[in-house]
Chains A and B, each alone.
Chain A
Amino acid sequence: MTDQPHAAITIRTGPVTMPGGRVILQPLDLQLSERRIAVIGRNGSGKTSFMRLLAGLIRADHGAVTLQGADMYKDRRAALTQIGILFQNPDHQILMPTVTEELAFGLIQKGMARKEAEAEVARRLQVEGRSHWVDASTATLSGGQKQYLCLLAILMMQPQCLLLDEPFSGLDMPTALRLRRRLAQLPQQLITIGHDPRELGDCTRVLWFEAGRVQMDGPPETVLPVFTETMIRAGERDADTDLAS
């Protein structure tokens, strides 16, 4: 399962419009089959919306995101077994008051009986060396621990593709390094949002978003130098005065 390409996510979508009428993503036509893909771009460029579109949390005005023939927005059953999404802010992702309930939730959602799901959680926490987390309240976890819990919750649902929205933001260095090692070992397809080109070492394809459309798409050695140079030039001007219209 190491380097062979994954089943491609096919994105053929029209614009994505917010309820107010603002277009947050322009029409897209992409095939994503690489094992490690990075999504880069400035704040407000549409990266997170792109992830939400992939995960089937929002839909385009027309067209669809499909994986193995299933529409990710309409066919939630298929979407859940195929795509897992890690939100940027773990507090927006954690639904349950305790660690066990949070981890068991996804399994119960997939149809496992509660007792069975809780046993599975206990087993998994033991494998992870975190048996003492079983009864812990999710509110008492640190930022890094919450991030870890969210990742574990998604991994336990066994998706083939993981969408990670800036997984390292807000983590201290050792925690970030540990998470990076953990992610590198995963056999799944990973699509990661990042800001810093230095963090994108092991990806084989980079999508650069600008103003809701793909500005550049290619291997990191082609995209990253242009991106970095453009960002440095933008930084020399007064970069953050533009308002999203």
Chain B
Amino acid sequence: MLTLTSPVKTPFHRLPAGLKMALMMGFGIAVMWAQSPGPLLVAAAVVIMLYLFCGPAVMRLALRALLSLWPFLGMLLIWGWWDGRMAQATLVSLRLGVMVAAANLVTMTTPLSEMLVVFETLARPFSRFIPPRRLALAFALVIRFVPEMGTTLQRLRDAWRARSRRRPGWRIVVPVLLSALDNADHTAEALRARGGVDGIGNADAKKPQPLPAEKA
């Protein structure tokens, strides 16, 4: 889900992130409220229409992202059929599909940095417990390093396969964890090399320091 970025600029890119997220929340509540398929089909039609504005490239990406939802929907429907509450299961599946599609649209058309600003604003009341800067940094680091861990897993699997006929299975877990810890060490050092978690200009001085013009 983290690679959900629209390949082209859409009209929705221009809307403020906060507005999009508020609309998404309202939409989500409405969808949960609906107790019959009628309003849900209308909601689905609205989402499809919004996607139509974005062009084929975005629609293709959205469909591929929705594909990962099919196993869940399938299980829900099978359970509903077995339990004798097919209507209920259809309703829940429809809700899930419509909401994920809408949320994906918000994610795809909102730059991460704008999303983070919204989170920072929302977290401001809790700033005494979680400093907003640290929260933002934590978000950014997660987004930076989750795909990195995927790559590490792949790399260690390859290294295993290159020297064994058996599948690595659970035995790969410890090396992956150790590698993550090693990575954490490097990250801590890189962070220290550039001013640490809180920076050097923010600890006691709130206003920006002017930088001397570079001569190069």
Count contacts on A: residues with CB < 8 A to the other chain: 42
Number of A-B contacts (CB under 8 A): 99
Are B211 and A158 touching (Cβ within 8 A)? yes
Pick the contact of A111: B194, B196, B209 (CB < 8 A): B209
Question: Which stretch in B79-87, B140-148, B166-174 binds the other chain?
Answer: B140-148
Q: Confirm or deny: A187 has a beta carbon within 8 angstroms of a beta carbon on chain B.
A: yes
| Most A C-beta atoms less than 10 A away, residue of B147, B187, B192 | B192
The answer to the question of A226 belonging to the interface, with a C-beta cut-off of 8 Å to chain B, is no
Question: Roughly how many angstroms separate A170 CA and B140 CA in the complex, as a whole number?
Answer: 27
Interface membership of A64, Cβ < 8 A:
no
Q: Which of B98-155 contact A (CB under 8 A)?
A: 111-113, 140-141, 143-144, 147-148
| Secondary structure type dominating chain A contacts | mixed
Q: How far is the CA of A138 from the CA of B144 in the complex (A)?
A: 8
Query: Which one, A94-102, A207-215, A232-240, is touching chain B?
Result: A94-102
Interface size class of B (residues with CB under 8 A): 20 to 34
Contact with B along A88-120 (1 / 0, CB 8 A): 010111111110110001111111110010000
B187 lies within 8 A of A95 (CB): yes
A42 proximity list for chain B (CB < 8 A): none
The reply on A85 being an interface residue by CB < 8 A is yes
Chain B, Cβ-Cβ closest to A158: B214
In the bound complex, residues from chain A placing their C-beta under 8 Å from that of B140 are 95-97, 101
Partner pick for B112 among A97, A109, A113, CB 8 A cutoff: A97
C-alpha gap A85/B193 in the complex (Å): 7
Instruction: Let me know if A12 is at the binding interface, CB within 8 A.
Output: no
Q: Which 4 A-B pairs have the closest CB atoms?
A: A111-B201, A109-B195, A109-B199, A92-B186
A residues lining the B interface (CB < 8 Å):
1, 52, 55, 57, 76-77, 80, 84-85, 87, 89, 91-98, 100-101, 105-113, 116, 135, 137-139, 153, 155, 157-158, 185-187
Which residue numbers of B lie inside 8 Å of A, CB to CB? 5, 111-113, 140-141, 143-144, 147-148, 183, 186-187, 189-196, 199-202, 205, 207-209, 211-212, 214-216
